[in-house]
Structure 1
Amino acid sequence: MRNVFLFIRRYSNFLLFLVLQIIALYFLFSYNRFHEAAFSEVADRITGNINSRYNYVDYYFHLRNTNEQLVKENLQLRSLLKQNYEAPDTANVLVVDSILVDSIKKFQKYEYHAAKIVGSFVSTQTNYLTIHRGANQGIQRDMGVIGPLGIVGRIVDVSDQYATVMSVLSVRFKVKAKLKNGGENGTVEWDGASPSYIYLKDIPKSAKVKKGDSVLTSELSSIYPANIMVGTVADISADKESNFFSLKLKTATNFYSIQYVYVVGDLQREERNQLQEATKKTNE
């Protein structure tokens, strides 16, 4: 306490000056409109700058929650897409099961699982991703994986909590795709070079195709719903020894920055696989 009094005594003149200065400024800004307006402008500018910086910091720390919420909302919207359902054949007697949507009398074909990428490679010939979803969340091998902008790969291995995804950027990856405009089908594969480009092969030369055209997943694909974005045509090469084009595609997915994906569950896959196996055995 003694030190406080000594401090006040030592700097009494300066402290008195500060008090009088504050009082003078108060009267100046309170009773002079020009100075009041100038002070308000400066104060608003400083306050706005502080609030802006605070909001930026607050937004940064809440960005993860925002992204996760958007992923959940996109998952709900994606589940309502038209291609996820099909109308029953009214010419036949149907056995209604648990995947019937009563309100619109259509059968659900696909379901989606949102997943976060926890590991990714783009620099090898056989690139893979690791996602934080596994068997405990319903993930199975050979499920398709898509991102917000297009296809990503397919599930090749599963543990309880994690799954490995063979990326589109793997020389072992192949998928059926089609031209959006003409509908011609071909096969998408990667040549192991640039992570930004893949190739659509076996497109007939009769197809009307130009740079910038979109390429989508085909109805012939066994792992993806139809009409999911694959990429856009960046270059067109005609094979002189065949009647087909080789189309260089700019990938729809940016594999350097993607963080969240959706795993596609085909609810009719097991039935289709059983039928195919039965057909093979019959023809053996």
Structure 2
Amino acid sequence: MRNVFLFIRRHFNFLFFLVLQIIALSFLYRYNKFHEAAFMNVSTELTGRINEKYNGIEYYFQLKKTNEALVKENTNLRQLLKDNYEAPDSLRRLIMDTIKVDSGRSILKYTFMEAKVVSSSTQLKQPNFLTIHRGFAQGVRPNMGVMGPQGIVGSVVNVSENFATVMSMLHPQFKVVVKLKNGGERGTIEWDGLSVLFVTLKDIPKSAKVAKGDTILTSQTSSLFPANLMVGTVYDIVPDNTSNFYTLKVRPATNFFNIEYAYVITNTQYDEQRRIEDSTRKKVQ
């Protein structure tokens, strides 16, 4: 306190002058319309610029919450896509309490759940996985498909209470049935381990019209994914005169280097489909 009084005493004249200046300026701007308008313009501009900078900083720190909200909103919107529904047999209707249906009685075959990616590997000639922050407690099970904002990612292979590991497209054992967007011809996507930027599409017949840049989508015959999800684009057509099928180099739509969020896909009829297929194999063996 003593130092404060000493400071005021030492600079009394300057402080007194400053107070008088403030009082004089306040009278000037308060009782003179021109000066008041000029002051308001300057103060408004200054305040606006300060608020703009503050909002920019605040927006930066709010990006995480904004992204999380958008991911949840996208999840809700994906539930409404028509490819997630399967129309029942119009000749015979069977309503099951365990299967979700919409107002038109279409069966909701696929549901989506958002998940944060906590780790991801992208190594050559190595099995690559992602870890997501969703597990048994949230309803995740093995053999569920996983996609990202741009396209498919892989399938769930292991699950703990709150985490799950996902075999990505960049894994030698990952395979999925896909189709050409233009012609609908089906083939199989797999990874040869030679590049983390590309996967290989096989079994497309040479009778199909294929060009660089063509879009590859998931097929309706896949049990992991709904039809028409983005897979990637044709980057190159590998020449092979010994086969009647194309070998296509495909650039995945998903960027595995910076993926932050994913969607776990539940096929509500997966178990039923697997049971009937396994039963059929046993009968014909």
**How far apart are the structure 1 equivalents of 2:62 and 2:220?**
40
1:101 is paired with a residue whose SS is coil
Distance 1:119 1:280 in 2: 38
**TM-score under structure 2 normalisation?**
0.91
Equivalence map 1:4-43=2 (5 Å): 4-30=4-30, 36=36, 38-43=38-43
How many angstroms apart in 2 are the aligned matches of 1:242 and 1:38?
Answer: 81
Contact persistence 1:116–1:259 (CA under 8 A): yes
1:46 offset after TM fit, Å?
Answer: 2.7
Q: Which runs of 5+ in 2 are unaligned?
A: none
Say how many residue pairs are matched. Answer: 284
1:123 shift after superposition: 2.2
Structure 1 gaps of 5+ residues are: none
Question: 2:129–2:167: 8 Å Cα contact kept in structure 1?
Answer: yes
Q: Distance in 2 between matches of 1:249 and 1:93?
A: 42
**Which digits, 9 at most, give the CA deviation of each residue in 1:10-55, with x for residues without a partner?**
2111112212332343355456666555544443333222212221
Q: Match for residue 48 of structure 1?
A: 48
C-alpha distance in structure 1 between counterparts of 2:43 and 2:102, whole Å: 61
Contact 2:102 2:108 in 1 (8 A): no
Deviations 1:126-177 (A, max 9, x none): 1100011111221111111011110000011111111100011112211111
Assess if the C-alpha contact under 8 Å between 1:213 and 1:233 holds in 2: yes
TM-aligned CA deviation for residue 209 of structure 1: 2.0
Contact 2:152 2:254 in 1 (8 A): yes
Amino acid at match of 2:257: Y
- Output the CA distance in 2 between the equivalents of 1:234 and 1:27: 73
Partner secondary structure for residue 199 of structure 2: strand
For the residues of structure 1 that align with 2:77 and 2:39, how far apart are their CA atoms?
Answer: 50
Deviates further, 247-256 or 138-147: 247-256
Secondary structure at 1:126's aligned position in 2?
A: coil
Is 1:257 paired with 2:237? no
**Percent of aligned pairs with the same amino acid:** 58
Aligned twin of 1:122: 122
- The residue type equivalent to 1:260 in the other structure is Y
**How far apart in 2 are the matches of 1:36 and 1:197?**
66
User: Any idea what the Cα deviations from partners look like across 1:74-129, whole Å, max 9, x if unmatched?
Assistant: 11111111111111112235253331425211111112221111111112421100
- Could you state the TM-score of these two structures normalised by the residue count of structure 1? 0.91
Instruction: Give secondary structure in 2 for the equivalent of 1:276.
Output: helix
Moved more, 64-73 or 268-277: 64-73
